[in-house]
Amino acid sequence: MIKLVPRVENSTLMILLSPLLAMTLTALSAYLIFVYILVDIDVSSVFYTLFVEPLRDSYYFSELLVKAAPLMIIGLGLSIGFRAGIWNIGAEGQFVIGGIAGSAVGLYFYNVEAFWILPLMTIAGILGGMFYAGIAAFLRVKYQVNEILVTLMLTYVAVLFLSAMLQGPLRNPSGFNFPESRLFHDSALLPIIWEGTRLHIGLIVAIILSLIAWFGIKKHMFGMQIKISGSAPRAAKFAGFDDNKTVWYSLLISGGLAGLAGIFEAAGPAGQLTPGLPQFYGFTAIIVAFLARLHPVGVLFSALLIALSYVGGENVQIEYNLPSSITQIFQGMLLFYFLACDILIKYKVVLFKTKN
Amino acid sequence: MNESLFISIIIGISIASVPLIFAAIGELLVERSGVLNLGVEGMMIVGALLGFVVMSHTGNPYLAVLSAMLGGMAIASIFAFLTQFLLTNQVATGLALTLFGLGFAAFAGRGYTEETIQLITAVPIPYLSDIPYLGPLLFSFNPLVYLAFFMVYLVWWFLFKTKQGLILRAIGDNHDAAHAIGHNVVRYRVMAILFGGAMAGIGGAFLSLVQVPIWGEGMTAGRGWIALGLVVFASWQPFRIIFGAILFGGITILQIHAQGLNINVSAQYLSMLPYLATIIILVSLRMRLKNKTNRTVPNCLGRIFHSTT
C-alpha cells in the first residue's frame, strides 16, 4: 500500500524537482500520443520540430519571445491575484477590452502623428482592463458574487463586443466591409527591439514589471497582505487586513495587466484590431501562473516554456498537418502533472505492508 | 399569441434548458459532497463529442448517450484522482480539466466537423399526447427531457430521503467529523465526482444529439460555466435548478426570436444576454439574501481533505 505522510517542512529539493518531473511526464505522454494515436509519424523529428527548432532558428526564437511577452504580463497579474485567493479566470476578456479601448484611442487620433499617442493608447488599454475586472471586484465586494463566474461570463461578452465593434464603429471605412479596423500608423505601433522581427518593447516591459512585482511583494505591506489573505484568511482578518481592499487590488492589478497585454498585442504583432485578437493567452496565462508557483519572476520562465509549446506546436501543425488543439492538450497535461507532482513537496510517499 | 407558436416556444425553452439541468444537477451533488469541480465545461464538451461520434458510427441513440456518460466519467476520474488522492487544489485542477477537455475534444473530433447525424427526436407518448392543450405541452417531448427532470427528482430523493444522502451532505459540511465517525470521505466524493461527470456528459451530448446534428469545436459555448452559476443560484437545492435553467432557456429563446423579428439590435448584443443574465441573476439572489449568510453552502466546499489515520 501507498500512504502519504505530511512532511514537517516543505521539501526544497522537491520544489525544484517536481516541475522537471512534470515536464518529463508530459513529454512521455506526448511521445505515447504520437506513437499510438498518430501512428504514421516519425516521432523524433516531431519532437525536434516541437522543442528544438524554435530555439535554434532566430526567426522562430523571436516569435517565441513575441508570444511569451503577453503571457508574462498576464501571468504576472494573475499570480498576484491567485496568491490572495482571488480567482480572476477571465483575463481573456480583460485582454480583449484593453485591446479595444487602446485601439479606439489609436483610431480616434488616426490623422495625428505624435509621440504621445502610444502612451495614451497604453493607458487606455490598462484602464479598459481595470474597468472590466473592476466590475467583478465591485460585485464581489458589494454582493459577494463569485468572481470566477463573473470574470468568465464577461469574457464571452467581451469577445462578442469585439465582434460588434469591428462590424460597427471601429470597422475600417474603406475595408470592403471586412470586420477589421484600419491599420495603425507608425506612431501608434510599438517600437521593435529586434530589427527584422516582430519582437516589440512589450518583452522589456514584462521583465521590468516582473521585477517591480517581485520587489513589491517582498518589501511592501501589500505583498504580505495578499499572501496571508490567500493562505490564512482568518489570520488576515485578525491582523486587521481589509478583505475588500485585497479583492479590489488583486482584480484591478490583474485586469490592468491583462488590458496592457491586450493593447500591446493590437499595437504590436497585429498592427490593427481584428477578430483574431484573443488567442487564448488569457486562459493559457493561468497555466503560466501556476507553473511559476505564483512567483512573479518565475512567471518569466514559465511563459517562455509555454511560448515554446505555442511556436513548436504551430510548426508541427504546418509541417505534419496536425491540429492546433494538440498544443492545448499538452498544456492541459502539463498543468495536470504539475499539480500532481506538487504533492511531493508537502508529503512523503511511504510504502507499507498491509496487516493481515 | 397563437397556440402553435406558444407550444413551439415552450418546446424551444425546454430544449435550451435541458443541457443546463443535466450539468447543474450533477455539479450540485458534487458540491454537496464538498468538492468544487470547475471542469464542467470540459466534461460537457467531451460528452458532446463522444455522443456525436458514437451516433455517427452506430446510429444507435442509446449507445451514443451511454458513451457520452462514460466519456464524462472518464475525464472526471482524472479530476477525482488528482483532487482526492493527490490532494491538488480543486480550483486549479478544475480549470486544467476544462482546458484539457476543450483541447482533447477539438483534437479527437477533428475528423467529424463536416459530418451530420440523425437527431434524436421527440417521442410523443401514445394517447396522452393526443389530449388537447395538455398533450403537446406535457407528453410530447424528447425522452432525454423527461430524464433530466427525473434526475433532478432522483438527486433530491437521494440527498434528502436516503441515509447515504445524509452522509454525503455531512461530508460536505464537515469532512473531519464525518471521517471521525467512520465514513469514507474519499469514496463518497469520488462517486459524486463521477456522477457529476456522467451528468455533464449527457448534458453535452444533448447539444450535439438533440439541439443540432453537428459537432463543432467549443460548441458548449460556456454552458458548463452557466451550469456552475445555476448551482449557486439554486442555493444547492435540486428543484431550484429547474427554475433557473428554464429562465436561461427562456432568455436563449428570446434572443433567437428577437433575431427573427428583425429587432434593430445587432446579433452580438443579443447573444450576450445569457451571459449577462447569469451575472444579473447571481447579483439579484444576493440582494434578496442581503446581510444574511447563505446557510445552504456546503461548509467544506473546495477544501482539501487528508486523513492522517
- Flag whether pLDDT at B308 surpasses 70: no
Q: Which residue has the cell 471586412?
A: A178
Give the closest of B38, B99, B225 to A331, CB-based: B99
Quick one: angle between helices B40-58 and B223-233, nearest 10? 130
Cβ-count burial of B261 within 10 angstroms (0-12 exposed, 13-18 middle, 19+ buried)? exposed
B205 forms beta bridges with none
Q: What angle do CA A171, A174, A178 make, to 5 degrees?
A: 50
Q: According to CATH, what is the number of the domain A66-322? A: 1.10.3470
* CA–CA distance, B289 with B292 (Å, rounded to integer): 5
**Which residue, among B14, B55, B20, has the nearest Cα to B199 in the 3D structure?**
B20
Residue A271: left (phi > 0), alpha (psi -120 to 50), or beta? left
Give the closest of B110, B275, B286 to A144, CB-based: B286
Domain definitions of chain A by residue range = 1-40+327-356, 66-322
Q: Which amino acid is at A42?
A: D
Contact flag B222-A156 (C-beta cutoff 8 Å): yes
Question: From the DSSP assignment, how many helices (H) and strands (E) are in chain A?
Answer: 15, 2
* CA–CA distance, A228 with A220 (Å, rounded to integer): 13
A139 in contact with chain B, both atoms CB, cutoff 8 A:
yes
* CA–CA distance, A339 with A123 (Å, rounded to integer): 36
Contact flag A328-B266 (C-beta cutoff 8 Å): no
Give the closest of A157, A323, A339 to B82, CB-based: A339
Q: Cell numbers at residue A101, please? A: 479601448
Return the number of other C-beta atoms located less than 10 Å from residue A45's C-beta: 13
Per-residue 3-state assignment (H helix, E strand, C coil) for A131-166:
HHHHHHHHHHHHHCCCHHHHHHHHHHHHHHHHHHHH
pLDDT value of position A149: 87
**Which residue, among A222, A271, A261, A256, has the nearest Cα to A242 in the 3D structure?**
A222
* Contact residues, chain B, for A336 at CB < 8 Å: 78, 82, 93, 96, 100
| Overall average pLDDT of the A216-229 stretch | 76
* Contact residues, chain A, for B271 at CB < 8 Å: 160
Please tell me the pTM assigned to this model.
0.88
E-strand spans in chain A?
2-6, 347-351
* CA–CA distance, B193 with A348 (Å, rounded to integer): 26
A283 in contact with chain B, both atoms CB, cutoff 8 A:
yes
Give the closest of A161, A283, A326 to B268, CB-based: A161
A4 in contact with chain B, both atoms CB, cutoff 8 A:
yes
User: What distance, in Å, lies between the first and last C-alpha atoms of chain B?
Assistant: 66
Question: Predicted ipTM?
Answer: 0.86
Contact flag A145-B269 (C-beta cutoff 8 Å): no
Q: Cell numbers at residue B92, please? A: 486549479
Confidence of residue A74 (pLDDT cuts 50, 70, 90): very high
Q: Cell numbers at residue B221, please? A: 459555448
A156 in contact with chain B, both atoms CB, cutoff 8 A:
yes
B309 in contact with chain A, both atoms CB, cutoff 8 A:
no
* Contact residues, chain B, for A137 at CB < 8 Å: none
Q: Which amino acid is at B73?
A: M
In percent, how much of chain A has pLDDT > 70?
A: 97
Contact flag A152-B279 (C-beta cutoff 8 Å): no
Confidence of residue A65 (pLDDT cuts 50, 70, 90): very high
Cβ-count burial of A291 within 10 angstroms (0-12 exposed, 13-18 middle, 19+ buried)? buried
Rg (CA), chain A: 22
Contact flag A332-B103 (C-beta cutoff 8 Å): yes
Residue A59: left (phi > 0), alpha (psi -120 to 50), or beta? alpha
pLDDT one-digit tens code per residue, A137-193: 999 998 888 888 899 889 999 999 999 999 888 888 887 778 888 888 877 788 887
Q: What is the dihedral of CA B236, B238, B243, B247, to 10 degrees?
A: 60
User: What distance, in Å, lies between the first and last C-alpha atoms of chain A?
Assistant: 12
- Flag whether pLDDT at A229 surpasses 90: no
| Contacts across the A-B interface (CB distance below 8 Å) | 130
| Overall average pLDDT of the A116-120 stretch | 90
A231 in contact with chain B, both atoms CB, cutoff 8 A:
no
* CA–CA distance, B192 with B83 (Å, rounded to integer): 13
* Contact residues, chain B, for A342 at CB < 8 Å: 88
* CA–CA distance, A302 with A78 (Å, rounded to integer): 13
Give the closest of B104, B225, B286 to A149, CB-based: B225
B78 in contact with chain A, both atoms CB, cutoff 8 A:
yes
Choose from A185-194, A246-255, B56-65 the range with maximum mean pLDDT: A246-255
* CA–CA distance, A340 with A18 (Å, rounded to integer): 9
Contact flag B103-A327 (C-beta cutoff 8 Å): yes
Contact flag B87-A4 (C-beta cutoff 8 Å): yes
B276 in contact with chain A, both atoms CB, cutoff 8 A:
yes
Give the closest of A89, A164, A343 to B86, CB-based: A343
Cβ-count burial of A43 within 10 angstroms (0-12 exposed, 13-18 middle, 19+ buried)? middle
Determine the 3-state secondary structure of A348 from DSSP: strand
Which site among A10, A86, A160, A324 would you substitute to test the B interface, given the most B Cβ atoms closer than 10 Å to its Cβ? A160
Confidence of residue B295 (pLDDT cuts 50, 70, 90): low
Query: By mean pLDDT, which of B29-43, B178-192, B241-255 is the weakest?
Result: B241-255
A87 in contact with chain B, both atoms CB, cutoff 8 A:
yes
pLDDT one-digit tens code per residue, A14-59: 777 888 888 889 888 888 877 777 666 777 787 888 788 888 888 8
